[in-house]
Every structure is written in C-alpha cells, then in structure tokens.
C-alpha cells in the first residue's frame, strides 16, 4: 500500500511532534495501552478500543479525531482486536478505485462493520480509514447512520517491535481538498502505535 509523497512529507513532519506528544502521553491521559485478554497463537490477544468523534462534538468544526491517537501494544507477536466506534455520519468519499476502500493487512483480510464481515466499503460511503503504511494495514470506516454509531472491528498481528505511524487516508479534514487541519496534526487523524519488544 502506498502513501502519497505529499501526505508522507506532512506525516514525517508531524512525527517529531508526535514523538514528543507520545512521550508526554506516557505521563498523562493522551496515550492508551491495550488490555490483555485470552492468549492467541504466537502471542497474546489484546484489545484496543478507539472512538472517532466529530469536530462538532469537540466544538472545532472540520476537525474529527481518533481517541486515542497514540497507543501501545504490550509485546511483539501480539494480535490486537481493534474496535473503532465512530460517531461521524459525514462522508469523505475516496476515488472510485482507491485502494483505501479495501481492507488490508488484517487477520483473514477482513473487518466487521456492525457485526457484518466486510472486505471493502463502497468509496462513496467512506468516512475515515485507519492506515498503517509500514505494515500494509488498512481499516475502512463507513459513515455512521444519522443519530447512531458504526463499529468496526478487525484483528491485526504486530510481529515486530517498533513504532508505527498511522494516518487517515480519507479527505476528512479542512481546506478545499479536505487534507488540512486534523489530517496533518498528530493526535487527530494521524498518530502512532508503539509495539514493545
């Protein structure tokens, strides 16, 4: 999976700030560590809950946010059951043949959307993605029905220790192209996952 050069440059610029935020978060509430559950083959099965809140909820128009944006996986080899609950009923449509409308890098190459197994989401219905370029992971988050949430779950194996950047590839931010504001600000539509050794 490729990340556009412009987006890569913006992400790289934000990683230094993100690293500082991650260090601060280790002492405060901005970061989260996944909780342990039943063992899985080759590691432990752990859970990470994330929510996507809207700019309206935060009183910051055009600034949706993943909460938490920075989190830690206890050990390399762990499998994480990621649960993303989105309150965002707006769409950020992708191009018709965008690879970011396809689920990638998950166990079985699938995710569930409100319990239904999916391999892709129609590009016009996409609100956000959770994309980790270095691991080839892409979760697709559709717009929530008006007045409701949508819940996306997927299992991701983290085989190696390290710090992995993630970014939303749907144009859900500010500016004429939707690529500004939260899209380039660590802690909003971009963040990091730290996998312990």
154-189 pLDDT tens trace? 999 999 999 999 999 999 999 989 999 999 999 999
Short-list 193, 124, 138, CA closest to 169: 138
Residue 197: predicted pLDDT:
87
pTM: 0.82
Closest Cα partner for 87 from 137, 131, 146, 159?
A: 146
Q: By the 8 A CB rule, do 143 and 158 touch?
A: no
Contact 44, 36 (CB under 8 A): yes
What's the CATH number where 104 sits?
Answer: 2.60.40.420
- Which stretches does DSSP call E strand in 61-195? 65-67, 70-73, 79-86, 111-113, 116-118, 126-132, 137-142, 150-157, 162-167, 190-195
Q: Kind and range of the H or E element at 37?
A: strand 35-40
Domain ranges, residue 160: 5-195
Mean pLDDT of all residues in 127-141: 98
Task: Give the pLDDT score at 42.
Answer: 63
pLDDT digit string, tens, across residues 71-97: 999 999 999 999 999 999 999 999 999
Number of separate domains in the chain: 1
């Amino acid at each position: 999976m490729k990340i556009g050069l412009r987006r890569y440059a913006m992400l790289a610029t934000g990683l230094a700030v993100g690293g500082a935020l991650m260090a601060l978060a280790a002492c405060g509430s901005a970061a989260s560590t996944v909780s342990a559950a039943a063992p899985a083959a080759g590691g432990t099965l752990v859970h990470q809950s994330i929510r996507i809140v809207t700019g309206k909820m935060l009183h910051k128009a055009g600034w949706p946010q993943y909460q938490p944006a920075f989190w830690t996986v206890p050990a390399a080899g762990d499998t994480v059951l990621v649960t993303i609950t989105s309150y965002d009923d707006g769409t950020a449509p992708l191009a018709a043949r965008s690879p970011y409308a396809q689920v990638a890098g998950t166990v079985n190459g699938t995710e569930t959307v409100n319990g239904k197994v999916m391999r892709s989401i129609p590009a016009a219905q996409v609100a956000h993605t959770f994309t980790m370029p270095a691991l080839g992971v892409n979760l697709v988050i559709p717009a929530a029905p008006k007045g409701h949430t949508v819940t996306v779950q997927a299992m991701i194996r983290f085989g190696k220790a390290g710090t992995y950047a993630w970014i939303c590839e749907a144009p859900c931010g500010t500016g004429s192209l939707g690529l500004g504001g939260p899209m380039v600000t660590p802690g909003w539509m971009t963040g990091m996952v730290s996998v312990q050794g």
